[in-house]
Structure formats: structure tokens, C-alpha cells
Amino acid sequence: MPRTGPLLATPPEQWDQRVEADRRNPALAYRDGTFKFEELAKLRAKENLEEQIKLPTKQKRYDACQRAMAEMARVFKEVRPDVAVLVGNDQMEVFEDANIPAFMVCFGDSVDNIPFSEEQKKRLPPGIEIAEPNHHGRTAQSYPGHPELGRYLIEKLVQRDFDVAASARLPQSASSNISGLPHAYGFIYRRIMQENFVPAVPFFINTFYPPNQPSVRRCFSLGKALADAIASWDADLRVAVIGSGGMSHFVVDEELDRAFLDAMKRKDAEALISIPPYNFRSGTSELKNWIPVAGAMKEVGLDMTVVEYQPLYRSAAGTGSGMAFAYWR
């Protein structure tokens, strides 16, 4: 389970490119409140976050994340599954307001990872383009899908009362940020699989956008149903379930992140389900990409290894991203 995010591919001395956007954001979500940047800085003044944004500290945390990603890639290569189910979310990269499914399985023959056009680059917020090598190459690339497994998962999940949307191809729109694979999935191919691509089934969860985000309980139940479906599949193939999503962001909450990781490591479903819903807002909603994986791994009895956790702060207000990397085997 890797964490994806722009800071992982941005040199620490350039992290402040994103701070201007933080300052302009009038609704920074943190715990049970919503704050302006100055309000958040005042609220968190006692945490002495000025120390966290000094360059040596940022560089140390960044380097630890690079080592963690290398370890995740090593484990993937060592395990070498035959097929993978990729659990992630979209951020208006392929879906639009006209159609945002709560759950969607892409069962096509392939998925395309298409880099930004020059026109799309002009629309990007500061600090995003520099991170794109983590998600997209210089040229378009096509990755193999697994239609048989994709269709099978859809059928089995519907039988378990999950109304899963189905698509043989990813939507494309001129107004989208990209016309291909969202960054949550591109990260897995480029930083975890690297050149060891295997056929994969992208599984989408709407973590971000009201009003139809699935609950934590629903996401955990989905993981259990997903594990049962894979176990019942009549194919002599090794299947990996890989999640891609953030810990707390765009405001770092170390207490939440550590409690969340601890609950998953202990396979404590009730502890996960009891986390107050207000925590799953904004970027932190991507924790819901971890939860189905945790539910699936509990169902099959695998233990979790946390490779690394690092809080990457980019401002004294606590804005930034929590980064965690873990696997079950």
C-alpha cells in the first residue's frame, strides 16, 4: 500500500511552491474544523512546526520516503503476482460532475497512461507539474488489463449487494485534467511496478466528492467481499490487491495517521469504523483507499508490515502530507 502525492517527487527546497495555494484556501480541513491558513497557524502554534519545515528536516523525511518506495518496489518484484487489483480514487481526472460512481471497476483490455498536454500544463496549480514523472511518462503508455477478472469481480460484488459501476474503458473529456489514468494509479505503475508490469484491474472509490462517498464501514465490507471474490475465482493465478492513497492531507494530522496505521496493523475493524467521519474530508478522505485493502487482508489472515511513516510538513500551519508505505504478505 503506497502513498502517492506531489511532495514525493518534488525536491524539498521546492515544497513551498504549494504553500501559496494553502494560503489561498479558505477551507483547510483539520479534525472537526475548517480553517483559513492564518487561523490554522495560530491553532497549531504550540506544536513548533517551524522546526519541521527547516530544509534539513524536510530532506531527511523526503529521503526516508524514497527508500520506502524502493522497498515497496523490491517487495513487488519479489512477490511477482500474476495480476493485480488496484484500489484508488479519481480527482476529476477522468470523471466529472455528470457521473461520479461510488464504486467502479474498469474491466478493459488495457488502460492508457497519457501525459499532460501543453494546454493542460498551463491549467495546473503551482508545484504539480514538477511531480508528474511519478505518475506519467514523457510519452503515452498502455498497460494490460484483465477483463476476465474484472468482469468476475463485478458479478461477485453485485451478488454481495455492492452496486458497482462497470466500464470497459476510462472516460475521456476535454475538460479533464488528463485523458487517461489518474495519478493514484499511474504512481503504482511508475514507482512500484516500474518495469515489472502485470495485468491489472483498476478499482475506483469516490472518496472525495459529496454526496455519494461510501462510508468507512462500507469500504471495509467491500474489502472482505473483494477477498472472497478473488478466493472463489477459478484461475491458477496469484492476485495482489494494491491500494494507492494518502494519509492526512492537505493538513497533516500525525495523531490520526498513527492511530489509523495502528488499527490496520492490529486488524481492528471496529477501531477503523469508529474514527469520526469528519476526519475523512478533503485529501484525508483517501484513507478510504486503504480500508478495503485492510478488510481484504484481514479476511485472508495476512499480517501488515509498515515500511515507513513520515509527516511531510510544508508550512508552519501544518499543511503538507502524511506519507505511509506498507504491505501485507
DSSP character for 44? T
- Report in angstroms the alpha-carbon separations of 82 from 59, 71, 238, 308: 36, 20, 5, 26
Round to whole Å and give the CA distance between 64 and 42: 29
Letter for the amino acid at 51?
A: E
Which of 141, 150, 156, 184 is closest to 169 using CA atoms? Answer: 150
**Over pLDDT 90: what percentage of the chain?**
82
- 3-state SS of 158-222? HHCCCCCEEECCCCCCCCCCCCCCCHHHHHHHHHHHCCCCCCEEEEEECCCCCCCCCCHHHHHHH
Tell me: pLDDT of 96 over 90. no
pLDDT the model gives residue 187: 93
Please state the pTM of the whole predicted model: 0.95
Strand positions, DSSP E, the chain: 28-30, 33-35, 83-88, 103-106, 110-113, 141-144, 165-167, 200-205, 239-243, 249-251, 304-313, 319-328
Tell me: pLDDT of 33 over 70. yes
Pick the range with the lowest mean pLDDT from 32-41, 89-98, 172-181, 271-280: 172-181
Q: Mean pLDDT of all residues in the chain?
A: 94
Round to whole Å and give the CA distance between 143 and 106: 13
Grade residue 265 by pLDDT with cuts at 50, 70 and 90: very high
Tell me: pLDDT of 173 over 80. no
pLDDT the model gives residue 126: 77
Is the domain 77-305 a CATH 1.10.150.20 member? Answer: no
Average pLDDT for 100-110: 97
